Amino acid sequence: MLDLDMTPYAAFVWPAWGISALVLTALTARAVIASRKWKRELARLETDATLEAADTNRPQVARSAVGPQQ
């Protein structure tokens, strides 16, 4: 059977387990939030690229070469 009796060490082991669980949960939540943010950013950039491709009045030049649009 599972023996969880750590009488002399329990004060050190259980808080370590708890802190580890909190850190792993926080890292997972942070990764999920960042993933959603980058997916929204990618969708926005793809939409902007589609709209710019429809604009035929200006030459096809890399945005970084032209600078920011005014």
Q: What is the pLDDT of residues 10-26, one digit of tens each?
A: 889 889 999 999 999 99
Q: How far apart are CA 14 and CA 20, in angstroms?
A: 10
What's the mean pLDDT in 30-44?
95
Q: How far apart are CA 22 and CA 25, in angstroms?
A: 5
If we measure between CA atoms, which residue out of 44, 26, 23 comes closest to residue 34? 26
pTM passes above 0.85: no
What's the mean pLDDT in 46-57?
70
Instruction: State what percent of residues in the chain have pLDDT above 70.
Output: 71
The pLDDT of residue 25: 98
pLDDT digits (tens, 9 = 90+) for 57-69: 655 566 665 556 5
CA angle 29, 33, 38 (to 5 degrees): 145
Quote the radius of gyration of the chain (alpha carbons, Å): 26
